[in-house]
Amino acid sequence: MQKARLHVNFSGAVQGVGFRFTVKRISEQYEVTGFVKNLPNGEVEVVAEGDREVVEGFTDAIRNGILNDYIRKVKKEWEPATGEYKKFEIKF
The CATH number of whichever domain residue 44 belongs to comes to 3.30.70.100
Q: Which residues sit opposite 90 in a β-bridge?
A: 36
Domain that includes residue 84, residue range: 3-91
Give the pLDDT of residue 42.
Answer: 97
Give the pLDDT of residue 1.
Answer: 76
Global pTM reads 0.95
Residue 20 catalytic? yes
Give the pLDDT of residue 65.
Answer: 85
- pLDDT-derived band at 6 (thresholds 50, 70, 90) equals very high
Give the pLDDT of residue 67.
Answer: 83
Instruction: Please count the structural domains in the chain.
Output: 1
The percent of residues above 90 in pLDDT, for the chain, comes to 91
Catalytic annotation, pick one of 9, 38, 52, 63:
38
Catalytic annotation, pick one of 5, 9, 20, 64:
20
Distance between CA atoms of 87 and 11, rounded to whole angstroms? 24
Residue 25 catalytic? no
- pLDDT-derived band at 66 (thresholds 50, 70, 90) equals confident
